[in-house]
Amino acid sequence: MSYTKEDIRRIAQEQNVRFIRLQFTDLLGTIKNVEIPVSQLEKALDNKMMFDGSSIEGYVRIEESDMYLYPDLDTWVVFPWVTQDRVARLICDIYMPDGTPFAGDPRGILKRALKEAEDLGYSAMNVGPEPEFFLFKTDERGEPTTELNDQGGYFDLAPMDMGENCRREIVLTLEEMGFEIEASHHEVAPGQHEIDFKYADAIKAADQIQTFKLVVKTVAREHGLHASFMPKPLFGVNGSGMHCHQSLFKGDTNVFYDEKDKLGLSATARHYMAGILLHARAMAAITNPTINSYKRLVPGYEAPCYVAWSASNRSPMIRIPASRGLSTRVEVRNPDPAANPYLALAVMLRAGLDGIQNKLPLPAPTDRNIYIMTEEERQDAGIPSLPLDLKEALDEMLRSDIICEALGDHALAHFYELKEIEWDMYRTQVHQWERDQYLTLY
């Protein structure tokens, strides 16, 4: 929906809104907010709310800390889980004191990528995300455990699926907040779930992913559960992905569709996919941004670890869903829900546009199960693997001019620094597996 300032003032009064959260996202994808009383709403609507950017991960130094929150009026929503002294939300863009957009704002980075697409004649990038999550039990103090709330499997029902009631309440809450939910179901792993919501333009889709995570965690807590979007919380079962279905439009025309093509794919779609495949290894640090992300990207657990595509086979990184016409789209399967959605969509779009601009040739599809191919067979077929760990992904990112440009100097430098620290902490830590393996052996 579109809102005016007057709409927001009226709804706030009618629904007894007492507080407004001005939300934004830091470089690592964490939602941040400044909560203001409704008496300060007018100031917020006039873009006059200031905050200290030096305290936000990946933003600015202490000597240049003043930043401004510019609310996007169309993101106005009243949270349904508070009935008295109600709380509303506005998602904000970040601006500098001189009125220029902050170069390190993830939402602004995605807007820059979309402007590049617009300059090439594409009016919209539509995205349908599929973030998966686990539900864990909490202990007597309300702290999360690693004990799952059920032992269900794919599409199971209660009593095997003990998360059914929680998932249903999540769906109802999301619908009350304006989401159009298409399906919800138990996923493959015990305790794992998926809720699919309708595609939207890229900015709205990224906003919805952040809102979705907040709702899932809030409702789960009310059920005595902890919802985790960690990519691989448990060994020996599938991890959680965030497949991103995407397509480009010119007006009302889906430029990925060509009815004359055997697969219904236009030359634009093929060049776009070629760009995604070419830059896949360099994008991985953004689409799979944690140490843990690479525990998911291993053979045997339905997560793609090889850079290839297919119209049907689910082992490659890119799959083409069966729908055609306006629904023709590319499903990129390697991103995970730990990714900052604004940055992930920005780098995927920029990679795809590079493929279009340079008319990159699309490799032949891989219709065999890549997991059972030998390394020699994969090499002969020209199928590289995604990075094996975060360090390799970071090194690949720095080698790509396209991905570095998509992020911009500010975000690139700060993201790399934060992830280098994360890698070094992991690398130097002594883990329980090492003690179990070596303590008595040596």
- Top pLDDT among 84 and 376 is at 376
- Top pLDDT among 163 and 287 is at 287
Q: Which of 10, 19, 73, 14 is nearest to 46 (CA)?
A: 73
**Position 113, amino acid:** A
| Confidence at residue 368, expressed as pLDDT on a 0 to 100 scale | 75
For 369-395, what is the mean pLDDT? 87
- Calculate what percentage of the chain has a pLDDT beyond 70: 94
Is 52 an active-site residue?
yes
**Position 40, amino acid:** Q
The tokens 């709702």 sit on which residue? 215
Q: Is the pLDDT of residue 133 over 90?
A: yes
For 347-364, what is the mean pLDDT? 96
Confidence tier at 157 by pLDDT (50, 70, 90): low
Q: Is the pLDDT of residue 62 over 80?
A: no
Is 86 an active-site residue?
no
| Confidence at residue 52, expressed as pLDDT on a 0 to 100 scale | 77
For 160-171, what is the mean pLDDT? 76
| Confidence at residue 58, expressed as pLDDT on a 0 to 100 scale | 56
- Top pLDDT among 280 and 298 is at 280
Is 130 an active-site residue?
yes
| Confidence at residue 57, expressed as pLDDT on a 0 to 100 scale | 62
The Cα diameter of the chain in Å comes to 72
Is 168 an active-site residue?
no
Confidence tier at 290 by pLDDT (50, 70, 90): very high
| Confidence at residue 185, expressed as pLDDT on a 0 to 100 scale | 78
**C-alpha to C-alpha distance for 166 and 215, rounded to whole angstroms:** 11
For residue 98, how many other CB atoms are within 10 A of its CB? 6
Is 164 an active-site residue?
no
For 150-172, what is the mean pLDDT? 70
- Top pLDDT among 252 and 311 is at 252
**Position 232, amino acid:** K
Q: Is the pLDDT of residue 382 over 50?
A: yes
Query: Of 93, 156, 161, 194, which residue is the catalytic one?
Result: 194
Q: Which of 312, 325, 291, 315 is nearest to 385 (CA)?
A: 315
Q: Is the pLDDT of residue 336 over 80?
A: yes
The tokens 């209660």 sit on which residue? 158
| Confidence at residue 316, expressed as pLDDT on a 0 to 100 scale | 81
Q: 91 and 33 in contact (C-beta within 8 Å)?
A: no
Among 59-68, 263-272, 377-386, top mean pLDDT goes to 263-272
Classify residue 390 by its DSSP letter. H
Query: Of 132, 150, 164, 258, which residue is the catalytic one?
Result: 132
**C-alpha to C-alpha distance for 398 and 391, rounded to whole angstroms:** 11
Q: Is the pLDDT of residue 35 over 60?
A: yes
Q: Is the pLDDT of residue 271 over 80?
A: yes
Q: Is the pLDDT of residue 5 over 90?
A: yes
Q: Is the pLDDT of residue 312 over 70?
A: yes
Q: Is the pLDDT of residue 251 over 90?
A: yes
Q: Which of 120, 114, 24 is nearest to 72 (CA)?
A: 24
Query: Of 26, 130, 161, 396, which residue is the catalytic one?
Result: 130
Is 187 an active-site residue?
yes
Q: Is the pLDDT of residue 101 over 90?
A: yes
Among 254-258, 319-323, 366-370, top mean pLDDT goes to 254-258
Confidence tier at 156 by pLDDT (50, 70, 90): low
**Rounded (10°) angle between helices 202-222 and 164-176:** 130
Query: Of 314, 399, 427, 435, which residue is the catalytic one?
Result: 314
Q: Is the pLDDT of residue 64 over 70?
A: no
| Confidence at residue 63, expressed as pLDDT on a 0 to 100 scale | 46
Is 314 an active-site residue?
yes
Is 14 an active-site residue?
no
For residue 441, how many other CB atoms are within 10 A of its CB? 6
**C-alpha to C-alpha distance for 304 and 277, rounded to whole angstroms:** 12
